[in-house]
Amino acid sequence: MNQLKLDQLAKGQRGRICKVEGEDGIAIRLMEMGLMNGEVVEYVGCAPFGQPSTYLTRGFRLALRPEESRRIEIEPIS
């Protein structure tokens, strides 16, 4: 399967998380928020100046900056 970073999803597109990079505070925080392997994420859209972006996962909306979303590898779901 072709893998993408979370910030490469197209608007409205969904993906399944296959990896969260790193073991630092940022990675922990992302995982605590439920961004873990196997979860489905949908890209909702981005804020006026191009970032941060909004995602939908586990039934809630989450805003992430590109630095953070780039750490998440996903497998797009068609």
Partner 1 sequence: MTTTPPVTRTSQVALIGNPNTGKSTLFNNLAGLNTRTGNYPGVTVEKKVGRIHWDGIEIDLIDLPGTYSLSPRTPDEMVSVDVLMGHAPSIGEIDAVVCIADSTNLERNLYLVSQILDMGIPTILVLNMWDALKERKDEFNLADLRERLGIPVIPAVARKGTGSKEIKEALATLLRDKPKPKRLNVFPAPFNAAMEKVRGRLAETKSRPLAEYEIERLILDVNGSVERRCLTHTGPDFAEFLASVRQELAEQNCIVPRIESECRYQWAKSIMSGLFTRDDAVKPRSISDRIDGLLTHNVFGLIVFFGLMFLIIQTIITWADPFMGWCEFGQETVAGWIEASLAPGPLRSLLIDGVIAGVGGVLIFLPQIVFLFLFISVMEDCGYMSRAALMMDRFMRLFGLSGKSFLPLMSSFACAVPGVMAARVVENQRDRIVTMLIAPLMSCTARFPVYWLLTMTFVPSVVLFSIPMGGLAEGGGWDFTLPALVIFLMHLVGVVVAIPVAFLLKKTAFKGEASPFVMELPDYKWPSIRTVAFRVYDRAKAFVVRAGTLIFAATLVIWAAGYFPGDHAVQHELEARMESLDEETDSEQLAALEEEHQEISARLIETSFLGKAGHFIEPAVRPLGWDWKIGVGVVASFPAREVIIATLGTIYSLGGDVDEEDEGLRGALRESTWPDGSKVFNIPVALSIMVFFALCAQCVSTLMVIRRETNSWGWTIFSFSYMTILAYIAAFFTYQIGMLFVA
DSSP H stretches of helix in 14-71: 25-32, 66-69
Smallest separation, CB 7 to partner 1 (Å): 13
Please report, as residue ranges, which positions from 19 to 78 form the binding site for partner 1 (by CB under 8 A). 20, 23-34, 36, 40, 42, 44-45, 47-52, 54, 56-65, 68
DSSP H stretches of helix in the chain: 25-32, 66-69
Interface with partner 1 by CB under 8 A: which residues? 14, 20, 23-34, 36, 40, 42, 44-45, 47-52, 54, 56-65, 68
